[in-house]
Structures are given as structure tokens and as C-alpha cells.
């Protein structure tokens, strides 16, 4: 497919292996996102232990079908609390990101997983590998915050 060819040819230089996060341009930074959607899930943080639990309750702007934000470019207009990941903010947010998140992996000096779109050339491989949350979420619009703990999921590592 055309888009798949584009990913692999655009980033044939494997920039993520040689450039530090703070040196990436915006196109490279965005390409690191694998499209898993897990950062769009609501979390519960245990105040005593600091442990973070993922729920399958997704942000109101998330599309369960496409596994994408419905208005990524203007997301903060709709969801002011949406956290923008940058080379600066990754430091304070890595603790709650899923273990498979490319930003977290590179911040921790780890390798990208074999199913990552930058390695496979296909945006579909995150779904085929069973890593994404496509087709498995419930919108926060339909669940009371008091019930979130009933929707905790185990993160696939």
C-alpha cells in the first residue's frame, strides 16, 4: 500500500537509533508514535503507591474504530487536559505511559519493538500484533468516574 511504502522510505535513515530525542524534528517526533492509542485511555493512580492502572475507558475525542484522535491537530481545544508529549515533557510523563510506547522506550534507551511501524513500514502492525486498543474501548462519555475501577485492564508487555 502507498502509505506503507512512504513510512519506510521516508525514514530509511533510522533516525531514532542515532539522534537523541531532543534533536528530532517534528516529523520525526510524530513518526515515533506507533498508534497504539493507550495514552488516550483514562488511568487510575494509587495515591499511596503511585502505581498507575490503565482502564479501557477512552478519552471523549478518541475513535475506537480508527484508534486515532478525532481531531488531533486541535485536540486541546476539545480536551484541555490532553498532555502533549515532547522531548521535554516525556521526562515527567514516562511513568504513566505504557511500556510499549516508543517515546518511553527511547527515553529509557531501549529498542523499538519489532512490530513498530517504523520498522515494518506498516501502520497496521501495531494492531496485528495485538498491542493497540482498537475495538476494545468505551468512551468516558458513557461511564461515571466512580465506576472506572471496574474497567481496569492488564497492559500487554
Q: Which residues bind ligand SF4 (CB under 6 A)?
A: 33-40, 59, 61-62, 69, 72, 75, 79, 82, 85, 97-98, 101-103
Shortest Å, Cβ 155 to ligand SF4:
10
Closer to ligand SF4 by CB, 97 or 119: give it.
97
Shortest Å, Cβ 48 to ligand SF4:
25
Shortest Å, Cβ 46 to ligand SF4:
20
Shortest Å, Cβ 39 to ligand SF4:
3
Closer to ligand SF4 by CB, 40 or 119: give it.
40
d(CA 104, CA 122): 21
In our burial notation (b when 16+ CB lie closer than 10 A, e otherwise), range 81-103 reads eeeebeeeebeebeebbbebbbb
Q: Which residue has the cell 533510522?
A: 14
Amino acid at each position: 500500500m502507498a502509505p506503507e511504502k512512504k513510512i519506510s522510505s521516508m525514514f530509511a535513515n533510522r533516525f531514532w537509533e542515532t539522534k537523541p530525542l531532543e534533536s528530532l524534528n517534528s516529523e520525526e517526533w510524530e513518526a515515533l508514535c506507533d498508534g497504539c492509542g493507550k495514552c488516550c485511555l483514562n488511568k487510575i493512580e494509587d495515591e499511596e503507591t503511585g502505581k498507575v492502572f490503565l482502564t479501557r475507558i477512552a478519552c471523549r475525542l478518541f475513535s475506537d474504530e480508527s484508534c486515532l484522535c478525532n481531531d488531533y491537530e486541535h485536540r486541546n481545544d476539545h480536551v484541555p487536559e490532553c498532555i502533549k508529549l515532547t522531548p521535554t515533557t516525556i521526562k515527567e510523563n514516562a511513568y504513566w505511559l505504557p511500556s510499549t510506547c516508543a517515546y518511553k522506550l527511547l527515553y529509557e534507551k531501549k529498542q523499538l519493538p519489532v512490530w513498530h511501524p517504523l520498522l515494518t513500514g506498516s501502520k497496521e502492525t501495531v494492531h496485528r500484533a495485538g498491542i493497540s486498543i482498537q475495538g476494545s474501548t468505551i468512551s468516558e462519555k458513557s461511564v461515571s468516574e466512580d465506576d472506572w475501577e471496574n474497567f481496569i485492564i492488564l497492559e500487554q508487555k
